[in-house]
Structure 1
Amino acid sequence: MDYDCLIVGSGHGGVQAAVSLRQHGFAGSIGLVSDDRDLPYERPPLSKDYLAGAKPFERILIRPPEFWATRNIDLLLGNEVTRLDATEKRVSCANGAAFGYGQLIWAAGGRPRKMTCAGHELRGIHSVRNRADVDGIMNELASVQRVVVIGGGYIGLEAAAVLTKLGKAVVVVEAMDRVLARVAAEPLSRFYEKEHRDHGVDIRLATGIESFVGNDGRLSGVRLTDGEMLAADMAIVGIGILPCVEPLVVAGAAGRNGVDIDDHCRTSLADVFAIGDCARMVSGHGLRIESVQNASDQATAVAKTLCGGPAPYSAVPWFWSNQYDLRLQTVGLSSGYDQTVVRGDPNERKFSVVYLRDGVVVALDCVNAVKDYVEGRALVEGRARIAADILADNGIALKSLVNR
């Protein structure tokens, strides 16, 4: 089973790669191989609407079931790729299946980081990464009242918001001294801490997990590093992901913290591209970006390259998070910022945090502030240099500062 283009991964990046190839005139055979057995589906709703029961699985499918056959895209589901032979241009799977390729697009994403402390194997401890993870949580919720969420990042906070609305008693345990510490400035962290506490969530900061305690093989409590025991019927672990790149690295691909890619998403292996959560762009920001937008835009860039119209990937990243009735929209990358400016009043639950580096606007976090998000994008794209006092004046529209 050989394909002109083989895509590993059925998330947003892999799907967009297949779709974009056809849209740009790729006439060769396309295979989409994935360890997931479900039709390709959206991942962001898993910790939001899907977990809440507001959207059934059919409503989070990326494309309707009949789409794939009409586009001559073979779905090779239930196949976990474990080995890559870059010389023979072939991947092998755990179940013995093997697929050859002319061009390979690696979009395998990442797997959740697991806890390794005592008791981590107990039933009732979950991650949130795929449908099976969330289905496992939902199947237990009827008998669950107390939930400990480990990790105060977006996944953990989104799950905490949903579970709180479902009537569960939730404790969030974060190892750092504030939530969202890895991705946002302190004003945004403190705002979300207050919001969650106002909704009844117990947030423990600068605290680690000593062990999980169980009864008859099932979780019954979580012991913190300060000695306190939290009663728990369920624990949800949201402490980041590990990029799924082992077959690439073993085959000789360069990379650390993922696989390295150039401006056209090429790896160091011939005819092998990588996109999405598992790929680290060497130039520019030099980061792995975990977002749907990044995976999809990189997929489109690769498709254009394979169809004869190469263009370097240079999109400005954007993200979003829904918690309670709060809509957070982020544009740009705040890493390395040296100054922040708050526009609006967090007490009114409508404000923005503007990030600057060397006086240049590099990112915005906008809470219920769609206008700032839309207008602020141009400031980030144009690397605008705006004085802090002007940015802080909520009466000045950001669009008026473009090309200032």
Structure 2
Amino acid sequence: MNARPESIVIVGAGQAGLQAAASLRDEGYDGAIRLIGDEAGLPYQRPPLSKSFITGDVTADDLSLEEPHWFDDARIERLAGERVAAIDRRRRRLSLSSGRVVPYDHLVLAAGSRNRALTFAAQPAHGIVSLRSLSDAHRLKTQLEDARRVVVIGGGFLGLEVASVAAAKGRDVHVVESVDRVMKRAISAEMSAAYAAHHEAAGVRFSFDARVERIVGRDDRVCAVELADGTRLDADLVLVAAGVVPNSELAVACGLSVYNGIIVDARLRTSDAAISAIGDCAAFPYAFDGGDLLRLESVQNAVDQARHVARALLGDSTPYDQTPVFWSDQGGARLQIAGVARRLDSSVVRGDPASGAFSVFRYRHHRLTGVESCNRPAEHMAARRLLQRRISPTREQAADPSFDLKLLLTLDETV
């Protein structure tokens, strides 16, 4: 990346891809930019699809990240409704499914992720939905209006967000989770228990350590979900929200290094220096954890990496080093997470979980690795700054709600 590329092609027109294109222009890049996306419409926000879009609080027009004229004004060529069929690394060109060939000097893969394939039998039937795209959200919103009994397969962020909306609409909601608690991959046992109780108070029921055997249809409509232990859950709407996998097939086919995502270095370059990868599809060295590879499904991570790769393409050699941030709105309980804790990291609870506003500080030995906050936005912002500066409150300080965490930041600035 020593010489500034004359043309940059970005594959993926989601949050990461669009931000990369915008940041390149913001940083003064004046070469050709092409943005390729497989959906026909304008790039749009995905987080509201599981919340405010299906409640009707926002429309499809509200979700657009940019207006059509913005692309013309920014001199960004948008190739919408196009799918990349192959990457020719030797000739530095892409073959599209339409037959078009697109050359590049540098390629940015922002291909995102897709829903995990079903591992159980499902009879073709109306009422089985997933949620990844705007068209999926339209289908879910429409079918939720007519549903009375909703089964959600998957107790992660997305599944619980939809469950909370369905429960608020008065639907009978049952969440099926394959492990022993909600959001286990992302949060502590303490925060998980608080969110399960929050949903149960709203009428949501759970089946934990449960395996779906099959989804049953009758007269071309879904009617039940059968579990491996013989339990039958009646349903007229089933949301399959069992996680996602990175879109790394193009990278595999052209010989890039891939392991749970497209492997990149600290400057977000792949094993081919003419190709970068960002967002959900990229596995990058996590600076806060000794450089171990990490892949994140986070809007903030997508935006941060897009901005970083734009600067890197224009000569900045600074390694990527941003505190990961996540959030989820679930029926009035806003979960915000800073950092990435491992499952065995210990927990210190700050505040009273029964109050509906508290935080959990995660530690590995004496080092702060992450902070989870429920309805405590100021504490979340302080945690982000602490983690970014590698400042670890003592466990006693973290457990004491009267201790001002910002004092540690102030003291650090005076050193």
| 1:132-160 alpha-carbon deviations (Å, 9 max, x no partner) | 11111122223211111011010100010
Shift of the alpha carbon at 1:121?
A: 4.0
- Aligned partners of 1:159, 1:169: CA distance in 2, in Å? 12
Give 1:92's match in structure 2, choosing from 78, 92, 95.
Answer: 95
Shift of the alpha carbon at 1:164?
A: 1.3
> Which residue in the other structure is 2:365 paired with?
358
Give 1:294's match in structure 2, choosing from 301, 311, 322.
Answer: 301
SS in structure 1 at match of 2:341: coil
Give 1:379's match in structure 2, choosing from 377, 386, 400.
Answer: 386
Greater displacement, 169-178 / 120-129: 120-129
Given that residues 37 and 77 in structure 1 are in contact (C-alpha distance below 8 angstroms), is that contact kept between their aligned partners in structure 2? yes
> Which residue in the other structure is 1:130 paired with?
133
- Aligned partners of 2:237, 2:158: CA distance in 1, in Å? 16
> Which residue in the other structure is 1:28 paired with?
31
Cα 1:120–1:179 shift into 2, 3 Å: farther
Shift of the alpha carbon at 1:336?
A: 5.1
> Which residue in the other structure is 2:43 paired with?
40
- Aligned partners of 1:62, 1:194: CA distance in 2, in Å? 35
> Which residue in the other structure is 1:314 paired with?
321
Write out aligned runs for 1:234-245 (5 A): 234-245=237-248
SS in structure 1 at match of 2:21: helix
Q: Give the aligned residue type for 2:373.
A: C
Task: Please tell me whether residue 77 in structure 1 is matched to residue 84 in structure 2.
Answer: no
Given that residues 188 and 343 in structure 2 are in contact (C-alpha distance below 8 angstroms), is that contact kept between their aligned partners in structure 1? no
Q: Give the aligned residue type for 2:326.
A: F
Task: Please tell me whether residue 193 in structure 1 is matched to residue 196 in structure 2.
Answer: yes
Q: Give the aligned residue type for 1:239.
A: A
Given that residues 7 and 105 in structure 1 are in contact (C-alpha distance below 8 angstroms), is that contact kept between their aligned partners in structure 2? yes
SS in structure 1 at match of 2:87: strand
Shift of the alpha carbon at 1:116?
A: 2.9
Task: Please tell me whether residue 164 in structure 1 is matched to residue 167 in structure 2.
Answer: yes
Task: Please tell me whether residue 54 in structure 1 is matched to residue 57 in structure 2.
Answer: yes
Identity %: 39
Give 2:267's match in structure 1, choosing from 264, 268, 272.
Answer: 264
> Which residue in the other structure is 2:341 paired with?
334
Given that residues 325 and 337 in structure 2 are in contact (C-alpha distance below 8 angstroms), is that contact kept between their aligned partners in structure 1? yes
Shift of the alpha carbon at 1:120?
A: 5.5
Given that residues 293 and 318 in structure 1 are in contact (C-alpha distance below 8 angstroms), is that contact kept between their aligned partners in structure 2? yes
Write out aligned runs for 1:98-177 (5 A): 98-119=101-122, 121-177=124-180
Q: Give the aligned residue type for 2:378.
A: K
Shift of the alpha carbon at 1:327?
A: 1.4
- Aligned partners of 2:242, 2:294: CA distance in 1, in Å? 18
Q: Give the aligned residue type for 1:364.
A: V
| 1:330-377 alpha-carbon deviations (Å, 9 max, x no partner) | 111112552100000111101000001121111111111112112222
| 1:223-278 alpha-carbon deviations (Å, 9 max, x no partner) | 01110111111111111111111111110100111110001110012311000000
| 1:185-216 alpha-carbon deviations (Å, 9 max, x no partner) | 11111101111010011111111101010013
Shift of the alpha carbon at 1:282?
A: 3.6
**Length-normalised TM-score, structure 1:** 0.96
Given that residues 126 and 236 in structure 1 are in contact (C-alpha distance below 8 angstroms), is that contact kept between their aligned partners in structure 2? yes
**Length-normalised TM-score, structure 2:** 0.94
Given that residues 9 and 33 in structure 1 are in contact (C-alpha distance below 8 angstroms), is that contact kept between their aligned partners in structure 2? yes
SS in structure 2 at match of 1:189: helix
CA RMSD of aligned residues (A): 1.6
Give 1:67's match in structure 2, choosing from 65, 70, 90.
Answer: 70
> Which residue in the other structure is 2:3 paired with?
none
Given that residues 336 and 357 in structure 1 are in contact (C-alpha distance below 8 angstroms), is that contact kept between their aligned partners in structure 2? no
Unpaired runs of at least 5, structure 2: 1-5
- Aligned partners of 1:157, 1:34: CA distance in 2, in Å? 28
Shift of the alpha carbon at 1:217?
A: 2.9
- Aligned partners of 1:65, 1:97: CA distance in 2, in Å? 23
- Aligned partners of 1:7, 1:65: CA distance in 2, in Å? 18
Q: Give the aligned residue type for 1:281.
A: F
- Aligned partners of 2:335, 2:279: CA distance in 1, in Å? 21
SS in structure 1 at match of 2:347: strand
Q: Give the aligned residue type for 1:319.
A: F
Given that residues 86 and 270 in structure 1 are in contact (C-alpha distance below 8 angstroms), is that contact kept between their aligned partners in structure 2? no
Shift of the alpha carbon at 1:123?
A: 3.1
Task: Please tell me whether residue 368 in structure 1 is matched to residue 375 in structure 2.
Answer: yes
- Aligned partners of 2:100, 2:56: CA distance in 1, in Å? 36
Task: Please tell me whether residue 390 in structure 1 is matched to residue 392 in structure 2.
Answer: no
Give 1:15's match in structure 2, choosing from 14, 18, 27.
Answer: 18
SS in structure 1 at match of 2:393: coil
- Aligned partners of 2:343, 2:259: CA distance in 1, in Å? 20
Shift of the alpha carbon at 1:380?
A: 1.4
Shift of the alpha carbon at 1:93?
A: 2.5
Q: Give the aligned residue type for 1:24.
A: E
| 1:150-173 alpha-carbon deviations (Å, 9 max, x no partner) | 110101000101111122211100
Given that residues 123 and 217 in structure 2 are in contact (C-alpha distance below 8 angstroms), is that contact kept between their aligned partners in structure 1? no
- Aligned partners of 1:97, 1:151: CA distance in 2, in Å? 39
